[in-house]
Amino acid sequence: MDYAEIVYEKRGDAAWIGINRPEVRNAFREQTLDELAHALRSTRQDPTIVAAVVYGVGGHFSAGGDFHAMMKLNKANSYMWNDRMLEVAMTCRNLPIPVIAMVEGACVGGGHELMLWCDLVITADDATFGQTGARVGACPTVGATQYIAKLIGERRAKEMIFLCKRYTGAEAARIGLANEALPASELKGRVEEIVQQMKGYSSQTLRATKVSLNFDSDALYPSWQHGMELLANIWGSEESLEGMNAFLEKRPADFHQFRERNKTALDTYIDDLEQGRNQSEASQAARS
């Protein structure tokens, strides 16, 4: 497969896989996810690869899903996107080698979920970690709602998702979202050190213990399926399109209009209920 949206290189006994869309802070679209999954799977064909390193080209890990692609999603086609996300996630989790996220710059939204699928996270201390779904009308149910609470606790997880709270790389390491934080200039060297350290360890032990360590969180797989069904009802809705358009137009989203519209609809329903209009005219006449 020829890669156009990622770069792939075997170097220093590791597979280095970089999202290569720096013009959009490495936001990914369907083609990017296909290439990521393929590159990760290809490491199975070379048993000398010690680890896979996922990173972003040009200073950002990933800003998440590309809204120009996501705005084309709706209930009829959303599985095309959701299945791709799940494929990358499950490939990361099921590879027999550790997957290391090397994070700098933006690691937000779907990019933050990509980081969560990895086994180890080494970050620049000034990177940005966060979930942006509530701000843009998306729904982080492909990893964030399953794993953040396991890493940093339910209270912090709800704060991160409900309030779009962000953490620096240094804070992420302190609370358990990342393993280590260090200056960006030292990031690549530290990841290379970790790969060389792993090279001296038993590959079958790393493989077996990764499977065992994932046992508990593998039980969350049904919640992924549930989350993707929820997403199917989010994509293409007026509310989600408002959020994404507002982001692209660099203006505040007007989500409150939907609360007001729902209030009007609910008031109408309650009035119909109280006035007996929740029955046919024939039924109303028979009971009057």
pLDDT tens figures, 234-253: 999 999 999 999 999 999 99
| pLDDT score at 19 | 98
- Tokens 């799977």 — which residue? 41
> What's 43's DSSP letter?
G
Is residue 287 very low, low, confident or very high in pLDDT (cuts 50, 70, 90)? Answer: confident
- Look at domain 6-238 and name its CATH class: alpha beta
| pLDDT score at 281 | 85
* Distance from C-alpha of 110 to C-alpha of 116, rounded to nearest angstrom: 10
CA-based end-to-end distance of the chain: 73
Q: How do residues 165-184 score in pLDDT, each as one tens digit?
A: 999 999 999 999 999 999 99
Burial class (CB in 10 A: 0-12, 13-18, 19+), 158: middle
Q: How do residues 35-79 score in pLDDT, each as one tens digit?
A: 999 999 999 999 999 999 999 999 999 999 999 999 999 999 999
Mean pLDDT of 108-126: 97
Helix (H, G, I), strand (E, B), or coil: what is residue 11? strand
Percent of the chain residues topping a pLDDT of 90: 86
**Tokens matching residue 272:** 């119909």
Please answer whether residues 48 and 186 qualify as being in contact, where contact means their C-beta atoms are separated by less than 8 angstroms: no
**Tokens matching residue 73:** 């999603």
**Pairing status of strand 51-56 against strand 14-19:** parallel
* Distance from C-alpha of 134 to C-alpha of 281, rounded to nearest angstrom: 43
Total Cβ atoms within 10 A of residue 280: 9
> What's 234's DSSP letter?
H
Is residue 120 very low, low, confident or very high in pLDDT (cuts 50, 70, 90)? Answer: very high
Is residue 259 very low, low, confident or very high in pLDDT (cuts 50, 70, 90)? Answer: very high
> What's 75's DSSP letter?
T
Instruction: Write b or e for each residue in 240-266: b if 16 or more Cβ atoms lie within 10 A of its Cβ, otherwise e.
Output: bbbbbebbeeeeebeeeeeeeeeeeee
For the cut 90, the answer to whether the pLDDT of residue 223 exceeds it is no
Mean pLDDT of 88-95: 95
| pLDDT score at 188 | 97
Least confident of 100-104, 113-117, 134-138, 220-224: 220-224
| pTM (two decimals) | 0.93
One-character DSSP codes across 130-197: E--HHHHT---TTTHHHHHHHHH-HHHHHHHHHS--EEEHHHHHHHTSSSEEE-GGGHHHHHHHHHHH
Could you tell me which residues come within 8 angstroms of residue 105 by beta carbon, excluding any fewer than 6 positions away?
25, 56, 59, 60, 61, 124, 127, 128
| pLDDT score at 142 | 85
Percent of the chain residues topping a pLDDT of 70: 100
For the cut 80, the answer to whether the pLDDT of residue 118 exceeds it is yes
Could you tell me which residues come within 8 angstroms of residue 42 by beta carbon, excluding any fewer than 6 positions away?
8, 15
Please answer whether residues 213 and 147 qualify as being in contact, where contact means their C-beta atoms are separated by less than 8 angstroms: no
* Distance from C-alpha of 135 to C-alpha of 68, rounded to nearest angstrom: 17
**Tokens matching residue 45:** 């064909």
Mean per-residue pLDDT of the chain: 95
